[in-house]
Amino acid sequence: MWPHLLPRWPAWLFRAAPGWWQQGHPHVPVRTVCAPGATVEQRRRPGGPWGVQGASPLAHRGCSSASSHPDDVPLTTERYPVQRLPFAVVSEEDLAAFELILPGRVVTGAEELAAVNVDWLRTMRGRSKVLLKPRTTEEVSRILRYCHERNLAVTPQGGNTGMVGGSVPVFDEIVLSTSLMNQVVHFHSVSGVLVCQAGCVLEDLSQYLEDRDFIMPLDLGSKGSCHIGGNVATNAGGLRVLRYGSLHGTVLGLEVVLADGTILNCLTSLRKDNTGYDLKQLFIGSEGTLGVITAVSILCPPKPKAVNVAFLGCPGFTEVLQTFSSCKGMLGEILSAFEFMDAECMRLVGQHLSLTCPVRESLFYVLVETSGSSAEHDSVKLDAFLEHALGCGLVTAGTVATDQRKMKMLWALRERITEALSRDGYVYKYDISLPVERLYDLVTDLRTRLGPSAKTVVGYGHLGDGNLHLNVTAEAFSPQLLGALEPHVYEWTAAQRGSVSAEHGLGFRKRDALGYSKPPAAVRLMRGLKALLDPKGILNPYKTLPSRA
Amino acid sequence: MWPHLLPRWPAWLFRAAPGWWQQGHPHVPVRTVCAPGATVEQRRRPGGPWGVQGASPLAHRGCSSASSHPDDVPLTTERYPVQRLPFAVVSEEDLAAFELILPGRVVTGAEELAAVNVDWLRTMRGRSKVLLKPRTTEEVSRILRYCHERNLAVTPQGGNTGMVGGSVPVFDEIVLSTSLMNQVVHFHSVSGVLVCQAGCVLEDLSQYLEDRDFIMPLDLGSKGSCHIGGNVATNAGGLRVLRYGSLHGTVLGLEVVLADGTILNCLTSLRKDNTGYDLKQLFIGSEGTLGVITAVSILCPPKPKAVNVAFLGCPGFTEVLQTFSSCKGMLGEILSAFEFMDAECMRLVGQHLSLTCPVRESLFYVLVETSGSSAEHDSVKLDAFLEHALGCGLVTAGTVATDQRKMKMLWALRERITEALSRDGYVYKYDISLPVERLYDLVTDLRTRLGPSAKTVVGYGHLGDGNLHLNVTAEAFSPQLLGALEPHVYEWTAAQRGSVSAEHGLGFRKRDALGYSKPPAAVRLMRGLKALLDPKGILNPYKTLPSRA
Beta strands in A416-466 (DSSP E): 426-433, 456-462
Please tell me which residue, A28 or B370, carries the higher pLDDT value: B370
Alpha-carbon distances of A3 from A34, A379, B324, rounded to whole Å: 11, 20, 41
- Residue B54 domain-assigned? no
* B467 with A305: Cβ contact below 8 A: no
Q: Are residues B318 and B363 in the same domain?
A: yes
Closest CB to B52: pick one of A274, A522, A545. A274
* A277 with B286: Cβ contact below 8 A: yes
Q: Are residues B63 and B173 in the same domain?
A: yes
- Residue B532 domain-assigned? no
- Calculate what percentage of chain A has a pLDDT beyond 90: 82
Nearest CA in chain B to A283: B277
Does residue B42 belong to the interface with chain A, where contact is any CB pair within 8 Å? no
Q: Specify the pLDDT at position B11.
A: 34
Please give, rounded to a whole number of angstroms, the shortest distance from the CA of B81 to a CA of chain A: 21
Please name which of A124, A53, A51 lies closest in space to residue A469, comparing C-alpha atoms: A51
Q: Give the tens place of pLDDT for each residue, B97-154.
A: 999 999 999 999 999 999 999 998 888 999 999 999 999 999 999 999 999 999 999 9
Please give, rounded to a whole number of angstroms, the shortest distance from the CA of B31 to a CA of chain A: 35
In A, residues 108-167, which contact B (CB 8 Å cutoff)? none
**Per-residue confidence at A549, pLDDT binned at 50, 70, 90?**
low
A chain contacts of residue B286, beta-carbon cutoff 8 Å: 277
* B241 with A305: Cβ contact below 8 A: no
In B, residues 436-465, which contact A (CB 8 Å cutoff)? 436-437, 462, 465
Q: B241 near B51, Cβ under 8 Å? A: no
* B271 with A523: Cβ contact below 8 A: no
Does residue B321 belong to the interface with chain A, where contact is any CB pair within 8 Å? yes
To test the contact with chain B by mutation, choose from A189, A258, A333 the residue with the greatest count of B C-beta atoms within 10 A, namely: A333
- Calculate what percentage of chain A has a pLDDT beyond 70: 87
Please name which of B171, B182, B175 lies closest in space to residue B157, comparing C-alpha atoms: B175
Among B153, B177, B201, the domain-final residue is B177
pLDDT at B507 over 90: yes
Q: What is the CATH number of the domain that holds A459?
A: 3.30.70.2740
Q: What are phi and psi of A266, to 5 degrees?
A: -120, 40
- Residue B3 domain-assigned? no
Among A299, A329, A353, the domain-final residue is A299
Please give, rounded to a whole number of angstroms, the shortest distance from the CA of B350 to a CA of chain A: 30
Nearest CA in chain A to B271: A465
Q: Give the tens place of pLDDT for each residue, A231-283.
A: 999 999 988 999 999 999 999 999 999 999 999 999 999 999 999 999 999 99
To test the contact with chain B by mutation, choose from A277, A489, A511 the residue with the greatest count of B C-beta atoms within 10 A, namely: A277
Closest CB to B282: pick one of A249, A277, A372. A277
Q: What is the CATH number of the domain that holds A165?
A: 3.30.43.10
A chain contacts of residue B249, beta-carbon cutoff 8 Å: 245-246, 248-250
pLDDT at A105 over 80: yes
Q: What is the spatial distance between Cα A337 and Cα A350, in angstroms, rounded to a whole number?
A: 23
- Residue A434 domain-assigned? yes
Q: B299 near B246, Cβ under 8 Å? A: no
Mean pLDDT score across all residues of chain B: 88
pLDDT at A117 over 70: yes
Q: Are residues A16 and A111 in the same domain?
A: no
Nearest CA in chain B to A328: B302
What 8-state DSSP symbol labels residue A499?
B
CB within 8 Å of A449: residues ≥ 6 apart: A484, A488
Nearest CA in chain B to A289: B277
Closest CB to A264: pick one of B277, B436, B521. B521
pLDDT at B297 over 70: yes
Please give, rounded to a whole number of angstroms, the shortest distance from the CA of A542 to a CA of chain B: 13
B chain contacts of residue A521, beta-carbon cutoff 8 Å: 258, 262-265
Closest CB to A333: pick one of B275, B333, B528. B333
Does residue B305 belong to the interface with chain A, where contact is any CB pair within 8 Å? yes
The whole domain housing B365 covers 11-31+306-414
Does residue B217 belong to the interface with chain A, where contact is any CB pair within 8 Å? no
- Residue B6 domain-assigned? no
A chain contacts of residue B329, beta-carbon cutoff 8 Å: 302, 373
* A272 with B433: Cβ contact below 8 A: yes
Q: Specify the pLDDT at position B364.
A: 98
CB within 8 Å of B374: residues ≥ 6 apart: A332, A377, A380, A381, B305, B306
Beta strands in A421-502 (DSSP E): 426-433, 456-462, 467-474
Q: Give the tens place of pLDDT for each residue, A195-241.
A: 999 999 999 999 999 999 999 999 998 999 999 999 999 999 988 99
Q: Are residues B245 and B224 in the same domain?
A: yes
Please give, rounded to a whole number of angstroms, the shortest distance from the CA of A325 to a CA of chain B: 7
Please give, rounded to a whole number of angstroms, the shortest distance from the CA of B449 to a CA of chain A: 26
Q: A175 near A116, Cβ under 8 Å? A: yes
Q: Specify the pLDDT at position B324.
A: 95
Q: Are residues B162 and B221 in the same domain?
A: no
Q: Are residues A92 and A162 in the same domain?
A: yes
B chain contacts of residue A248, beta-carbon cutoff 8 Å: 248-249, 278, 281
Q: What is the CATH number of the domain that holds B259?
A: 3.30.465.10
Q: Specify the pLDDT at position B477.
A: 86
Q: Specify the pLDDT at position B18.
A: 32
Q: What ipTM did this prediction achieve?
A: 0.89
Work out the end-to-end distance of chain A between its first and last CA atoms, rounded to an integer number of angstroms: 56
Q: What is the CATH number of the domain that holds A335?
A: 3.30.70.2190
- Residue B102 domain-assigned? yes
A430: which strand partners? Answer: A470
Does residue B308 belong to the interface with chain A, where contact is any CB pair within 8 Å? no
Cis peptide before B487 (omega within 30 of 0): yes
B chain contacts of residue A166, beta-carbon cutoff 8 Å: none
Q: What is the spatial distance between Cα A381 and Cα A369, in angstroms, rounded to a whole number?
A: 12
Q: Are residues A172 and A217 in the same domain?
A: no
- Residue A249 domain-assigned? yes
B chain contacts of residue A269, beta-carbon cutoff 8 Å: 435, 497
Please name which of B14, B158, B172, B145 lies closest in space to residue B87, comparing C-alpha atoms: B172
Please name which of B366, B340, B339, B361 lies closest in space to residue B350, comparing C-alpha atoms: B361
Sign of the dihedral through C-alpha B199, B336, B283, B82 = positive
Q: Give the tens place of pLDDT for each residue, A505-528.
A: 999 999 999 999 999 999 999 999
Closest CB to B281: pick one of A262, A278, A513. A278
Q: Give the tens place of pLDDT for each residue, B517-527.
A: 999 999 999 99
Please give, rounded to a whole number of angstroms, the shortest distance from the CA of A467 to a CA of chain B: 7
Q: What is the spatial distance between Cα A119 and Cα A76, in angstroms, rounded to a whole number?
A: 10
Q: Are residues A158 and A113 in the same domain?
A: yes
Closest CB to A275: pick one of B279, B325, B514. B514
Q: Are residues B79 and B172 in the same domain?
A: yes
Q: Are residues B509 and B407 in the same domain?
A: no
Does residue B547 belong to the interface with chain A, where contact is any CB pair within 8 Å? no
Sign of the dihedral through C-alpha A236, A241, A246, A247 = negative
Alpha-carbon distances of B474 from A421, B353, B445, B477, rounded to whole Å: 71, 18, 17, 7
B chain contacts of residue A381, beta-carbon cutoff 8 Å: 373-374, 377
H-helix or E-strand spanning residue A422:
helix A417-422
Q: What are phi and psi of A93, to 5 degrees?
A: -65, -40
Nearest CA in chain A to B436: A191
Q: What is the spatial distance between Cα B531 and Cα B528, in angstroms, rounded to a whole number?
A: 5
Q: Specify the pLDDT at position B69.
A: 83
A chain contacts of residue B237, beta-carbon cutoff 8 Å: 272, 274
Q: What is the spatial distance between Cα A93 and Cα A100, in angstroms, rounded to a whole number?
A: 11
Q: Specify the pLDDT at position A67.
A: 54
- Residue B527 domain-assigned? no
Q: Are residues A117 and A219 in the same domain?
A: no
Please state the rounded mean pLDDT for residues A383-403: 96
Closest CB to B249: pick one of A248, A275, A510. A248
Q: What is the spatial distance between Cα B520 and Cα B545, in angstroms, rounded to a whole number?
A: 12
* A381 with B372: Cβ contact below 8 A: no
Q: Specify the pLDDT at position B67.
A: 54
**Per-residue confidence at A98, pLDDT binned at 50, 70, 90?**
very high
Q: Are residues A81 and A160 in the same domain?
A: yes
- Calculate what percentage of chain B has a pLDDT beyond 90: 82
The total number of structural domains in chain A stands at 4
Among A418, A433, A450, the domain-final residue is A418
In A, residues 271-300, which contact B (CB 8 Å cutoff)? 271-279, 281-282, 284-286, 290
